[in-house]
Structure 1
Amino acid sequence: MKKTMKKKIIPLLISALLLLLSSCGSSANGDRKVLRVAMSADYAPFDWLQENDSNGAVTTSNGSYMNGYDVLIAKHIAEKLDMELEITQIDWDGLILSITSDRVDCAIAGMSITSERAQSVDFSDPYYNADIVVVVEKSSPYAAATSLTDLDGAVLTSALNTVWYDVLDQITGFATKGAALDTFASMVSAVNAGTIDGFTCDNPSAMSLLMTNPNLVILDFSGGTGFEVSNEETDLGIACQKGDTELVDQINTVLADLSQEERQALMEQAVASQPASQIS
């Protein structure tokens, strides 16, 4: 009888010990110890590839080095959640699929929170608001503009098939919407040549351009005298697997403690860290 009892008790004790050790080794995230994040690495200053680990760049699962605002945000979230960070570079068009196929837990990639995307993924609260700004030359008569109406007579443009170009319809009647251009480089060249007076883009992109084009200045009308845009067009969120409310809630808790001033400081850090090859 005693031998039989020992045979039954010993396995139970071993199981209990293993369970205890397992619970001690897990974090507040249950069994999730690694945060698998997808980024496209083609949208500086949000994310880019570089040749080494300078300025806090992270080695991706693909073996490359990635840096940018999205990397800084991912590192901050992983640290606060006591999780190991694993970043995978995935082409933009494959980001949503990488989430729905469980290749990654989420995507932090300068992604707008749209109703269409929300059909496939769940979004966190916004982690950045990419306001639309106007960029002109410092010597331009429009450099002191404080509202859209101050751009009376100006010729403005942007990239085709972007919200930046679409909002220029709002200047009809007092300014001119010029033909769309393909790249930031072509827009800057057009401003320098006097072909156009300025162009629209998001604020982070404009900040990057000023790093190598000190003759330009940003006109920010986001205080209420600028373009009328929806939150879908400016709010950027972290896309997570549909139904993963645990991770979404945890990310939102971390974001709630990250002030707008801290977020802007991280963006300025990212802009300052960009390699010259990543600045248009």
Structure 2
Amino acid sequence: MLFVLTIISLAFVFGCGNNEASTEAGTEEDKAGSGNKLVMGTSADYPPFEYHETSNGNDEIVGFDIDLAKAIAKEMGRELEIQDIGFSGLIPALQSKRVDIVLAGMNPTDERKQSVDFSDKYLTTEFAAVYMKEKPVTQFADLKGKKIGVQLGTTQEQAAKDAGLETVSLDKYPDLIQELKSGRIDAVLVEDTVAAESIGSDTALDYKIVPEIAGLDIAVALPKDSELTGEINEAIKTLIDNGEVDKLKDKWLKLK
């Protein structure tokens, strides 16, 4: 009986050890950056940079940043995987290494640089105020004393506060436009290219560049001390030099 119990105990121990090893191996395979995969985080509610497009029942994330990420991955010889995450959750996703990179119209501010690293810039944009035509914004002074919508955790949010504006912060940009149309806010502060895309054929909306608030550079965000930073910078330089970035600007970033 003692011999039988000993054999059973050993079998149990070795069985548990094999299961644990398998679990660890599976976890390692699931980590971002494993193998030939490049995992990108974005917040797909921000046209024309990244947004959902449905065609023939198929949902796809498209936009300037998406095409740029595909081009970067191709230059690096990697397969791109995209994860849609709320904007305020993108930096935590980098810190926990759920994603390798973030492309989401993100500005490399000093505050963000304390948490993550950034590539060289790939675009520079200006700020614009989106407003209802019946309540036009003709100058920066028109924003004073009004409720200005900004996306939570963005540079626009901080820029608006620094400019002394009263802000209403929401996580999703489309929700801000709905708040604007409902009259609960007076304008939305956003990048010029996003403003142009927002109004589209909507005759009730318009926008105005706000030069009083300095424009911003856009770059790829990466985890601190990422081994990919050098490769990303090389890919961006190549795509700028060969005119691919300009082609993407012409395709996606339409200003009036």
Return the TM-score normalized by structure 2.
0.62
2:148 aligns with 158
1:216-227 alignment to 2 at 5 Å? 216-220=205-209, 226-227=211-212
1:43 aligns with 46
Q: Deviations over 1:98-128 (max 9, x none)?
A: 3233332111122221223222321111223
The 8 Å contact of residues 49 and 194 in structure 2, kept in 1 or not, is answered as no
Shift of 1:94: 3.1
Q: Deviations over 1:171-193 (max 9, x none)?
A: xxxxxx68869722343565xxx
How far apart are the structure 1 equivalents of 2:47 and 2:40? 17
The 8 Å contact of residues 157 and 200 in structure 1, kept in 2 or not, is answered as no
**Aligned residue pairs, count:** 210
- For structure 1, list consecutive stretches of 5 or more residues without a partner in the other structure: 1-30, 58-63, 170-176, 273-280
How far apart are the structure 2 equivalents of 1:91 and 1:211? 24
1:253 aligns with 234
The 8 Å contact of residues 160 and 167 in structure 2, kept in 1 or not, is answered as no
1:262–1:36 CA distance, 2 compared to 1 (3 A): same
Shift of 1:155: 8.1
How far apart are the structure 2 equivalents of 1:89 and 1:204? 21
Q: Deviations over 1:33-57 (max 9, x none)?
A: 3212112223232222233489xx9
Matched, 1:95 2:76: no
Give the counterpart letter for 2:201 in structure 1. Answer: T
1:204 aligns with 193
1:207–1:121 CA distance, 2 compared to 1 (3 A): same
Matched, 1:67 2:62: yes
Q: Deviations over 1:116-162 (max 9, x none)?
A: 322232111122323102446779997xx7xx58x689986521572
Q: Secondary structure in 2 aligned to 1:49?
A: strand
1:101–1:139 CA distance, 2 compared to 1 (3 A): closer
- For structure 2, list consecutive stretches of 5 or more residues without a partner in the other structure: 1-33, 171-175
RMSD (CA atoms)? 4.0
1:1-280 alignment to 2 at 5 Å? 33-52=36-55, 65-135=60-130, 148=139, 158-159=148-149, 162-163=157-158, 165-166=160-161, 169=164, 183-188=176-181, 200-214=189-203, 216-220=205-209, 226-229=211-214, 234-245=216-227, 247-259=228-240, 263=245, 265-267=247-249, 269-270=251-252
Q: Deviations over 1:61-93 (max 9, x none)?
A: xxx621122211111101222221111223334
The 8 Å contact of residues 53 and 65 in structure 1, kept in 2 or not, is answered as no
Q: Tell me which protein shows more strand as a share of its residues.
A: 2
1:131–1:263 CA distance, 2 compared to 1 (3 A): farther
How far apart are the structure 1 equivalents of 2:196 and 2:251? 11
